[in-house]
Chain A
């Protein structure tokens, strides 16, 4: 059976060159980077080289990159660490309603320490208005966190404009750029942000390896107390192989980024343009133009996401959904609901994230096998029957 992997938002495949770069550090190069002897120093050099590659990818200085174990950790580190470090200035945080759970729940955790937060709403395309951020800021706001790109709906947010608003008010800005870095050009200087999260598994690097960019001079509370690793801000023996993998993935991304985007954008557009021609009652979620180049997300009326995913999986196609059933929760995706999509429609959400090896034939295959699946599920759906009866009247 043909295998078509379109679940970029969950994980990308490991680039073979990344694997090759990592392997020695899972084998003969086992030294601890903090050791003085040469086998230790060999690991230290590899870690610092990776730091330089990551810094290069986002236009940062090497000293501004701190390695973490995941994008979620980087987000926790930034939101909790930056807020707590500025506690004497106030106890209020501004976020958007469509942030990743690791940002939203970090802010929720901070409530125990006397913080409160304001969620900035988004429009129907999942886009925030920087003016709404300005309105949400009040006396005592110590941090603004706005994601760069949303993984569920693909919308790319106007972070640079948000920074302009915040800078004039002296408030630091963190951006969760996990879905963006390695997939679109990201430059911390152009954005002007004080902190930025990124993760290797979103651009053909390994899982369990991520980083936080922290602009020189930005105050943050250490996330893990212990030794001197990561400048004493994130202690613990380094995940050397993972860090090397992140560095290599960053190096490759810097070289291949524009080529990847040029290759994937037309395939994405093909999916976005043709799927609604093959099936009725489909809506694109997220912004049509300002979206990730590999990202196509939809809501299908009258049917539920998990049932679609299982059927697609039987055809060898891997995708993901924001329906309540797939999230193992009673609730549909907070992102879709924040965009004003109703519960029933949100249950029918699907996300296709293209990867570098995706071909035009893969998209054709999806366009061929998917419509009959939708039709079959709709025939089973009481909501569709009701719709047909009502439209007859």
Chain B
């Protein structure tokens, strides 16, 4: 099996799946083009996450990550929840295969996006306006882990020139001798 027992447990028995109809904040990240999409719903009480539900379109890792994030964030204050990162999620899950690490980015992003949505709504209720946050990411650059479409030649975040590996189809920095995902030798003109 490519996944740890903990990942498989969260995949088979995902915690907190569903929709909160009257959510205080909703965050959605990813898109089906790169394979994963997550929606997080939160209820906030006394500045704490009183309830979290999620829905995920994606692979085993994406589902497990969403479940893990919801479990880690439940009951936490908004500040604490914002500190949950992709690496803490992957760590809690007992590790993820390298080519699935981008899934853990999406999980933390989706939660953070829901919290930002909540804060924006709160601010709006007070009559304040908040600068629109940039659109959430899709796929992730293997270098800066910034969101990318998965079709561009240059990462828009760290400006690394990306090259598609002819062996596994993943992206590696142009000029590298080996693919960062599958280790195959990359030929150069």
Q: Is the CB of A330 within 8 A of B60?
A: no
Q: How far is it, in angstroms, between the C-alpha of A109 and the C-alpha of B186 when the chains are bound?
A: 12
Q: Is B50 in the interface zone, CB < 8 Å from A?
A: no
Q: Is the CB of B17 within 8 A of A328?
A: no
CB distance from B52 to the nearest CB of A (A): 14
Q: How far is it, in angstroms, between the C-alpha of A117 and the C-alpha of B167 when the chains are bound?
A: 19
Q: Which residue of chain B is the closest to A378 with respect to CB atoms?
A: B57
Residues of A within 8 A of B170 (CB): 328-330
Residues of B within 8 A of A328 (CB): 99, 168-170, 181-182
Residues of B within 8 A of A305 (CB): 59
Q: Is B139 in the interface zone, CB < 8 Å from A?
A: yes
Q: Is B126 in the interface zone, CB < 8 Å from A?
A: no
Stretch at the interface among A10-18, A236-244, A380-388: A380-388
| Size of A's binding interface in residues, CB under 8 A | 32
Q: Is B146 in the interface zone, CB < 8 Å from A?
A: no
Q: Render B56-90 as a binary contact track against A, CB cut-off 8 A, 1 for contact.
A: 11111111000000000000000000000000000
CB distance from B163 to the nearest CB of A (A): 13
Q: Render A330-344 as a binary contact track against B, CB cut-off 8 A, 1 for contact.
A: 111000000000011
Contacts A382-B38, A382-B39 known; A329 to B169 CB distance under 8 Å? Answer: yes
Stretch at the interface among B26-34, B116-124, B129-137: B26-34
| Size of B's binding interface in residues, CB under 8 A | 37
Residues of B within 8 A of A325 (CB): 35-36, 58-59, 61-62, 100
> Could you say which of B39, B56, B189 contacts A112, with CB atoms under 8 Å apart?
B189
> Could you say which of B28, B35, B63, B166 contacts A330, with CB atoms under 8 Å apart?
B35
For this complex, 23 residue pairs linking A to B, each with C-beta atoms less than 8 Å apart, are A101-B166, A105-B166, A112-B187, A304-B36, A304-B59, A307-B58, A307-B59, A307-B62, A314-B12, A324-B35, A327-B169, A328-B99, A328-B170, A329-B168, A330-B150, A331-B169, A380-B14, A380-B55, A381-B56, A382-B28, A382-B55, A382-B56, A382-B57
- The interface of chain A, by Cβ under 8 A from chain B, is 101, 105, 108-109, 112, 302-307, 310, 314, 323-332, 343-344, 347, 379-383, 385
